[in-house]
Each structure stands twice: as structure tokens, then as C-alpha cells.
Chains A and B, each alone.
Chain A
Amino acid sequence: MADLRSDFIGIKSPNPFWLASAPPTDKAYNVTRAFEAGWGGVVWKTLGSEGPPVVNVNGPRYGVVHGADRRLLGLNNIELITDRPLEVNLREIKQVKRAWPDRALVVSLMVPCDEESWKAILAHVEDTGADGVELNFGCPHGMSERGMGAAVGQVPEYIEMVTRWVKQHSRMPCIVKLTPNITDIRKPAEAAMRGGADAVSLINTINSITSVDLDLFAPEPTIDGKGAHGGYCGPAVKPIALNMVAEIARSEQTRGLPISGIGGVTTWRDAAEFMALGAGNVQVCTAAMTYGFKVVQEMISGLSQYMDEKGFAATSELVGRAVPNVTDWQYLNLNYVTKAVISQEDCIKCGRCHVVCEDTSHQAIAMSEDRVFTVKDEECVACNLCVDVCPVENCISMKTLPQGAIDPRTGEKVGSYANWTTHPNNPMARAAE
């Protein structure tokens, strides 16, 4: 079994699977159950300043998007930071860390945007023996209306300022959690780096309305006839998160900045994908909130098997391995020519490939009287839509035309690597010498 031990900015855990700051990490009871189930670490649900805790709504706080068979694909919440007294949380954090010294315990924080507030809370957290802090600059609902959470995370200057305070007033490792509700994720990451952050974690939840009650004419979850936008997470947000992680991992300005990957991690494979794109570890919430803490067992066995099969001795061998292959569109090889091939043996003759190609693409799949579907190479632009909509895995595949072969669509020979930057149609093309 592969060695899954993880060292993320000096915080050690037996595996790279942490629970994200969220409802599952709000109490010693939950966190203890999580550790018993095998989670490598947790980020304790966000603490606020001393004084009366925040309050939550007393109606539904979650909304959901279901796939087929009521599979939970996306989850939206309007819950705020912890609504338990600060001293109770601090006491429990200390006690849990003492009981589980080999697990990572990071504390998420969100206090008003002034130095004194941050200084005060940091002293309390240091006292608990926690491994680090995560600055919640992401929460997109409720707290942001009060100038915290995403309201800070959307202003790079604030991120930098607060991060600097945290590093000044604490020797704990500091992770800055980023909101995706911005236009360019690299900017807040750069700000965090300038402020001295040891790492960034992303993504926090995305502004969302999951559905509308068409009788009440109100967004869901509905509280007394009204709804507010919430934060969206779960498998549905993974592609957005993967891109944002990759953008930070490959950016010149932030290269080497450790990343904790968050956003829809449900299986070992999701975790491996985040890690390949540069995440040193991953944080999970929705999968646990859908299936319970036991899901981590599949993540552990799956990542372990994958690493064994790949011959990776440590997770560090996986981290960032796909980053060099994330590039800009302009550098993609325009002479890479593929054609769809339909396996007649596997085809169940549903006709979906044909109709989507005919109606919405390039009219490249023929249908015979007796429902045999074949690709017209002279029309196929290799868009992959047929592969994507085919219900049978691997029934439609893409064959690559070798260099020198004639592409029946263009009548031209397949050439060697060439991209847009040198393409004759590109007015900005640098002339090939």
C-alpha cells in the first residue's frame, strides 16, 4: 500500500484528505467521528470574534441540485460561520488536537477587518495547539453583507493587508481561502502571497440560487417566502475549481505557492486530479455531507492503488504533475487531427450521436435505413460531442491521423506541430522564418 502521508506547509497528516471548514467540522463530536473514520485532517469551522455568536436561520439552510436517481450533484447553503460561543470551540479544538496529535487541525477564522480583531483571535488559537489557521475570505453569503468573508476576498488589497497582520501576530502557518466569485483568481492569490501567506486554499462556494419554487415564486431554500443566494459546492463545481487551481499553479507570479484543493472532491480520482494540477492536498465537504465520513476509506484505498500502479512512492510525486500540460489555447497543436470512430459491436443504436451531430454540429454521422451509424471522415471536425453524449463508454473513440496522412475533410496532409501563433490566418502571427 502506497505511502499517503502528507506534509502540507509543514502540517503533517497521515493522508492528504482533510475536511473543509464547514458544518462537518463545527464540533468536537463531528471532528472526532471524522478522525475515527480516517480523515487526515480538518479545518475547523470558521470562528468569529469574541462576544455573542452569529445566529443562523431557523428554516432550511441547504438547497440541492439532483442528477438522475436523485444523485446529489450540487449543494447550496446559507449557513454562516460557527454559531457556538468562541470559548466552547477553542476548548474543543484544544482537546481534540491533544487526543489526535497525528492529524492535521487547522482553524478557520473570520473576524472584522481590523488589526485588533485579528490579533485577538490569533492569540486564542495559538493557545489551542492547532497546526495552523485558514483565513476565510470566501464565504459569499450573510457574512459578506457585514464586510467579511467574500467581501474581503474580492479586494486583493484587503487580502494582502489581513494576511500581513496574521503573519505579524502569529507564528502559525497561514492558509488563505479564496472566493471564486471574482473574475481572475490569480489576483487574490498574488495578494495572499504578497501578504506572506504560506498557502492558498480554493475554491470557497459560488454564489448561487439552486432552484425556484414555482408556486411561491421564491428561490430555494425558501425562508418564509423569501430566499437569499447561497454558496454552491459539490461535484458540480469541480471543473471550476480545477481550472482555478491550475491557473494559480501555472502562473509565473504564484508558481510554487502551496495550494489546498477544494471543490467537489468525492472520490480518490477527484483528489488525484486536483493534486495533479498542483494541489498539495485536498479538502472535502459535500461528499461527507452526502454519504457520511466513511467515504474517506474509498479515497484512501483508491489513491493508494493508483499510486502503487503508477509507482509513486509519495504524494509529492503526483502533486503538480499535470501542470506543465496546462497551456493557453494559442499553443495547442492545430495539426493534431483526429476522427471519431464508432464501434459497431458496442453501438446500441440510440441515435444520439447522429442527432446531435446533425442538429448542432457538423453533419458528420450518417444513419442508414437499418440504424447503422457511421462517421463521415470528410465532415468530422473531431469535436468530441458524439463521444460525450454516447451512453456506452468507449463505444465512440477518437483515432489520431498520423503525420503525412490526408485529412479527408480538408484534403490536406497532416503536418507537424503548429499553433495559432504562427497560423497564416492569425493577423498577429509571427512569420515563420
Chain B
Amino acid sequence: MTNSQLSPGVVPGRLDADSYGKNFADVAPPLDRHEASVAADRCYFCHDAPCVTACPTSIDIPLFIRQIATGTPEAAALTIFSQNILGGMCARVCPTETLCEGDCVRQTAEGKPVEIGALQRYATDRMMARNAHPFTRAPATGKTVGVVGAGPAGLACAHRLSMLGHDVVIYEARPKPGGLNEYGIAAYKTTGGFAAAEVDWLLQIGGIELIENWQLGRAGDGTLDDLQARHDAVFLGMGLSGVNALRLAGEDMENVTPATDFIAELRQAGDLSALPVGRDVVVIGGGMTAVDAAVQARLLGAENVAIVYRRSRAEMPASLHEQEHALGVGVRIIPNAMPVAIHGNGALREIEFAYTKNGPKGLEKISETFRLKADQCFKAIGQTLGDTPAAVKVAGGKIWVDGAGRTTVPGVWAGGDCAVGGEDLTVTAVAEGRDAALDIHQFLLGG
């Protein structure tokens, strides 16, 4: 089997063996001590710092950077983890350019922010390398909480509840914990099995039981009623398991698949050279998922990869930094075009797009169309809530919660991507899970 970039169809092994390792290496290699000290030195230790305001988990960034600057990265890590127990992953995957670093005063002053994400990784890596968990549990309360989903929201919620002395059982539908950290993020952002290692480290606090392959509502597993009968409170953090459809004929062709499936498969692949990828790959959508799928398709050896997005470049949900990364690896970004037909006789051959413009009633197609050669197409036009317990009110496609994360069902909280509010980011999910835990704690103490 000697495939190359030019081999037609969806085939594995397009690259020589060495290239996979190189292509999927750490996209942002960690800072060494000297680099960290130079980077930390640039922080002004702002008062009421804009970076902290921009961080959904409100990490005290000036303090942790000062702690790095004074040679105590472990103290810095404690500052980070006390606000965000998944600070290690967030350091890798946060779109810092639109969050903390985007609001850094040195971005204003010089167009060059303090490297907050890289510094956060420096500190958290050091603490985690010690393989000692820095937090302890409060005396047992005798209360128990069921958490649905071992993604960022569920893990953050479970960890905080455990710290507060409650026992937690996490019910996870997939065979492994981590949620999108494990299944949904580009491999080069979290190398070396970091997502799994982070969960192991988090669970070292104790008091958290993890049940895998358990899906809410699935026969043989259990219902929300079952969980409420078993626990004093329930937190729903199951994320978004569905994907939006293109609603075009031919969508059921073999190589037209959700981008999330491709990303998950890639993350779980033991041998990347065995993973098939098309020669001409088209990704439809404009968010992080689209970019992650497109970039990784290129890195697996696809010759031509295009991201097609129906609105302008500026309106793409993927950050400019992400877009530039995609362009840098040779992905083509075609804005202002939407799919109108899928062509192929059994096997995918082409996708037809119409250009778009902003009309009086919103986005509209114009008569001009074009076709892209495609033997593989990834859909990345948004994810949707999967089956949800009927008693829980859903609004706008997400579980409705109040400011404290409470759903309409007493004793049931929700957070993360499955719930309304905030952007669908790891860091937002962590904040929501953590804050729901604090509210659950109040509820349990009161009740």
C-alpha cells in the first residue's frame, strides 16, 4: 500500500511515516524556564485587570504571572487551579486571542499581548508534573450528587463538589471521560494523552466515582428520575451530541460525515497512518470544529482542503488566529458561499455552492454558483442537543437555566454546551460547572 497525496478517493497512508509525528506535534510547544521568565516579565500586574475580566473562570492572571516571575510556578498553578481545575487544558485550547490576551493592555499598547496562555501552561504543567493533587476535601457532608457527562462542565462541577465534601457519581456516555477535551479538539493542541492524564489528575481528589458507557435515557442505563432517586442533586453536563444537517439530497453518501466524528476518530486513532482521508476535502462551516477538521485533513495528507462558510471571513466564529493557522497549513477559506447540491453517483464527486450576500431579509443566495471537487465532505455547521429528559425545559435548542445554573426541575442543574448562556468553550463550561457546584452546595446545606 503506497498511497500519496495524489491518490484518489478516501484512503489511508498518504504520507511517509515520519510526517505524521511532525504534523501532529504540539502546535504551540511549551515555554522553557527562560522563555517563561521573559514572558512573565512583560506583565504589568494591572489593577482589576482586563484579562481577568475577559476570562470566563476569572483566573487571577496578574498574580499567577507574578508568581511565575518570582520562581514559584507551583504557587502560580494553585492560583490557576483554584479558579479553573482544567486550567491545563484551557491553557492549550482557549482562544486566548479573543479572551485574556485580546484584552491585555500590552495588546492595546504594542499589539503584542503578554503570552498568558503559554504562561498558564508553563505553570500548570509544572504542578501536574509533580503528580500530586493540590486540593483536599472538606469533611464529608453525607450528600451525593449525580453528574451527567464527564466533559469540562461535569468534571469541574464534580471536582468542586468533592472539594466541598460531597460524594459524586459521574455518568459518562462514551467509553472514556474528558468530553470534547478527549474527543473534540484537534490532536496537535493536546498531545501526549494530556486530556486523559488531566482527568486522572483531577480525580485524585477522591470522592468521585466514574461510570462510563452510561447514557441518560437509554434503556438499561437510567432516567433523570432514577438519578434524582439515587442522589440529592443532579447536574446535567452532557454537551451537544447531535449535529445540524445540510438538508441536501446526497447528504447520506458514504463520505459525507459530521466533522465531529472525524475529529473524534482521529483523536482516538492509535495509528494516524491507518486513518483514511480524501484527496479533495471540503469542510462546510466556519467555527473551531470546521478549522480543526480542515487542518487535520491537510495534516493527514489531503491535497486540497477548503473551508466554505456562508458568511464573511470576519463573521466566522473561528478566531482570526485559528483562520490564519488553517491558511498557514494550506487550507483554502472560501467565505460567502453556501452549499446547494451534492453531486456524485454513489460516491461523492463534487459539491455545488452558491455565493451569498446580505439582503434586506438576511443572508441570501445569488445566482452565481461554483463547484468544488470533493471525495470527502465534513459538515461543521453546528451541534445540537441530544435526547433530553422531557421534564427539563429547553429554550432555543439548549437546556434553560437561571443565573445559578438551575433548570426548571427542582434539584437539577445544567451547564456547559448543553445549557443556555455563554460561548461553547471549554473554559465557559468549566466556569458553569464550578458555579453550579457552588449553588448545589448552598442548596444541599440548606436542605
Contacts and interface: CB of A to CB of B under 8 A. Distances in A.
Interface string B41-64: 110010100000000000000110
Contact of B37 (A297, A298, A393): A393
Contacts of A302: 67, 70-72, 75
Interface in B52-96: 62-63, 66-67, 69-72, 74-75, 78-79
Given A301-B78, A305-B72, A294 B33 contact: no
A292 interface: yes
A267 B47 contact: no
Task: State the 6 A-B residue pairs at the shortest beta-carbon distance, nearest first.
Answer: A301-B75, A267-B70, A298-B66, A302-B72, A291-B45, A305-B75
Given A295-B45, A393-B34, A268 B63 contact: no
A306 B75 CA distance: 10
A269 interface: yes
B138 to A, nearest CB: 16
Interface in A169-216: none
Contacts of A393: 33-34, 37
Interface in B30-44: 33-34, 37, 41-42
A206 B78 CA distance: 38
B105 to A, nearest CB: 13
A389 interface: no
A317 to B, nearest CB: 19
A299 B45 CA distance: 14
Nearest to B44: A291
Contacts of B69: 267
B63 A297 contact: yes
A69 interface: yes
B37 to A, nearest CB: 7
Interface of chain B: mostly helix, strand, loop or mixed = helix
23 contacts: A69-B41, A291-B45, A294-B45, A294-B47, A294-B62, A294-B63, A295-B66, A297-B63, A298-B72, A298-B75, A301-B72, A301-B79, A302-B67, A302-B70, A302-B71, A302-B72, A302-B75, A304-B75, A305-B72, A305-B74, A305-B75, A392-B34, A393-B37
Interface string B299-310: 000000000000
A423 to B, nearest CB: 38
A393 B70 CA distance: 14
Interface residues of A, number: 17
A298 B47 contact: no
A134 B284 CA distance: 73
Interface residues of B, number: 19
A197 B332 CA distance: 78
Nearest to A299: B70
Contact of A298 (B34, B70, B74): B70
B112 to A, nearest CB: 12
Interface string A64-80: 00000100000000000
B49 to A, nearest CB: 10
Nearest to B71: A269
Contact of A301 (B41, B42, B62, B67): B67
A298 to B, nearest CB: 5
Given A69-B41, A69-B42, A298 B67 contact: yes
Contacts of A268: 70, 72
Contacts, number: 44
Nearest to B76: A301
Contacts of A295: 45, 66
Interface in A233-273: 267-269
Contacts of A304: 75
A393 B75 CA distance: 22
Interface of A: 69, 267-269, 291-292, 294-295, 297-298, 301-302, 304-306, 392-393
B375 to A, nearest CB: 47
Contacts of A301: 67, 72, 75, 78-79
A7 B62 CA distance: 30
A282 to B, nearest CB: 15
Interface centre among B42, B62, B79 (most CB of A within 10 A): B62
B205 to A, nearest CB: 17
A393 B71 CA distance: 13
Contacts of A291: 45
Contacts of A305: 72, 74-75
A11 to B, nearest CB: 27
A304 B70 CA distance: 13
Contacts of B47: 292, 294
A269 B70 contact: yes
A356 B327 CA distance: 46
Nearest to A300: B75
A131 to B, nearest CB: 29
A304 B63 CA distance: 15
A411 to B, nearest CB: 37
Given A291-B45, A298-B63, 9 more contacts: A69-B41, A294-B47, A294-B63, A295-B66, A298-B66, A301-B78, A302-B70, A305-B75, A393-B37
A297 B65 CA distance: 12
A302 B64 CA distance: 11
Nearest to B37: A393
Nearest to A71: B41
A26 B71 CA distance: 32
Nearest to B74: A305
Nearest to B75: A301
A295 B60 CA distance: 12
Contacts of B42: 69
B172 to A, nearest CB: 34
Contacts of B66: 267, 295, 298
Nearest to B68: A298
Interface centre among B75, B78, B79 (most CB of A within 10 A): B75
A269 B69 CA distance: 11
Nearest to B66: A298
A69 B45 CA distance: 13
Contacts of B72: 268, 298, 301-302, 305-306
A248 B42 CA distance: 37
Interface centre among B33, B66, B69 (most CB of A within 10 A): B66
A162 B219 CA distance: 88
Nearest to B42: A69
A361 to B, nearest CB: 25
Contacts of A306: 72
Nearest to A266: B70
A295 B41 CA distance: 15
B279 to A, nearest CB: 43
A379 B79 CA distance: 49
Interface in B1-48: 33-34, 37, 41-42, 45, 47
B165 to A, nearest CB: 20
A272 B66 CA distance: 17
Contacts of A392: 34
Contacts of B37: 393
A265 to B, nearest CB: 12
A298 B61 CA distance: 12
Nearest to A68: B41
A305 B62 CA distance: 18
